[in-house]
Amino acid sequence: MSNKYLNFIDIALQVTRYSHLPLYSCKYSKQTYTQYQLLTLVLFKEYLGEDYRDFVDLVELMSSIQTKLGLTKVPHFTTLQKFVTRIYSAILDRIFKKTLDLFYKNGESVEVTGIDLTGFTSGYCSNYYSWRIKKWRRSYVKTSISVDVHKFVITGYKISGKPVHDAKHAKTLLSQCHRNRKSRYYVMDKAYDSEGNHKLTREKLRSIAIVPLRQRERKRIKGHYRKKMLREFDDEIYSLRNLSETMFSLLKRKYGENLRARKYRNQVKEVKFKVLIHNLDRYVKIVCLVWLRISTKPQFQKFISKLKMLPL
């Protein structure tokens, strides 16, 4: 059985090559490293949770990783930094769609999709230090994600740098999810309750949004689909929404809540890297489990046959 880090490198290389990323950034490139090698190294850096300097020092000790990537020498840490600044965010979106092909067949739909929102922040100073110097940090990078609650795979995301109402995020995210993988039910909390979201899911996406109503005492419920949701609300399906919160907890605990990048566009890319490596890591674990089930069965049968041959 191969090492989990080598398996991650294999899957990351495979997905990046299928994304039709140019081999080099331009015709004037020194052509020392391909963009596939650099992108895989950046994903591996986020997977390990190290900064650029420490990561380069670690890779210098990992001869098997260098061989797997075909590196004659390890790139300088500034080479990786410049690559992250240079790469287009749209390319990461394309690679993200390729990660979904690892889990779903062509035309396969999702039964229940959970949607939730959180924020990632810059970790350069604490709130207390900001209060002392009277220079406040920028607002959180607001991130909404959609999760397949059965396979625990991220199927879509929406990122913004300014405070936006959850319901507005939902419109973009729902349309993106539907393009990536159609879902029968979309499960969201009260913050996403709006007639527009219900109308979008019912009429355009041909799905059902399970959202509890925001009610005030002695106030009439407005909207045809909101009234319909009050009658048809399913508690059993809605309980699966907690798994989207579990996903955020996993992302922050495993890959870090703080963003190291200072520029906003690089912060967006860093969040996308976290989403990408979660899906890649999820696939690596599934492959390892399947391998274990296949490999242990013949060994167990051999063990039983040897026991039968022993004298009583």
Query: Under 8 Å CB-to-CB from 237, ≥6 apart: which residues?
Result: 112, 185, 187, 210
pLDDT at residue 303 in the model: 39
Six-digit token pair at 284?
Answer: 């690596």
Q: Give the mean model confidence (pLDDT) for residues 290-311.
A: 48
Burial class of residue 160 (count of CB atoms within 10 Å of its CB; 0-12, 13-18, 19+)? middle
Most confidently modeled of 47-56, 113-122, 216-225? Answer: 47-56
CATH fold of 105-277 reads Nucleotidyltransferase; domain 5 (3.30.420)
Residue 135 above 90 pLDDT? no
**What is the identity of the amino acid at 276?**
L
90 — pLDDT class (breaks 50, 70, 90) = very high
Among 59-63, 123-127, 264-268, 269-273, where is mean pLDDT lowest? 123-127
The strand pairing partners of 147, in sequence order, are: 114, 154
Mean pLDDT of 261-278: 91
Q: Which pLDDT value is given to residue 184?
A: 92
pLDDT given at position 312: 42
Mean pLDDT of 159-169: 81
Percent of the chain with pLDDT over 70: 87
- Beta strand 183-187 pairing with 153-160: unpaired
Q: Contact 213/226 with Cβ under 8 angstroms? A: yes
Which residues does 145 contact at the CB level (< 8 Å), separation at least 6?
115, 116, 117, 154, 156, 157, 158, 173, 244, 247, 248, 275
Average pLDDT, the chain: 84
Q: What is the mean pLDDT of residues 151-156?
A: 92
Rounded mean pLDDT, 167-193: 88
Distance of CA 191 to the CA centre of its chain: 22
What's residue 288's pLDDT? 66
Under a CB-based contact definition with an 8 Å cutoff, are residues 142 and 117 in contact?
yes
Is pLDDT above 70 for 233? yes
Nearest to 273 by CA among 48, 7, 114: 48
Please provide residue 121's backbone torsions phi and psi, each rounded to the nearest 5 degrees: -125, 160
Least confident of 82-91, 235-244, 298-307: 298-307
Confidence of residue 302 (pLDDT cuts 50, 70, 90): very low
Cα–Cα dist 190/211, whole Å: 6
Residues spanned by CATH 3.30.420.10 within the chain? 105-277
Q: Is the pLDDT of residue 290 over 80?
A: no
308: pLDDT confidence band, cut at 50, 70 and 90?
Answer: very low
What pLDDT does residue 79 have? 94
pLDDT of residue 167: 79
pLDDT tens by residue, 17-53: 888 888 888 888 888 899 999 999 999 999 998 999 9
Tokens coding 228 = 């319909």
Residue 260 has pLDDT above 50, yes or no: yes
Torsion angles phi and psi, residue 307, rounded to 5: -65, -40
Number of C-beta neighbours around residue 270 at 10 A: 20
Q: Give the Cα separation of 46 and 171 in Å (integer).
A: 29
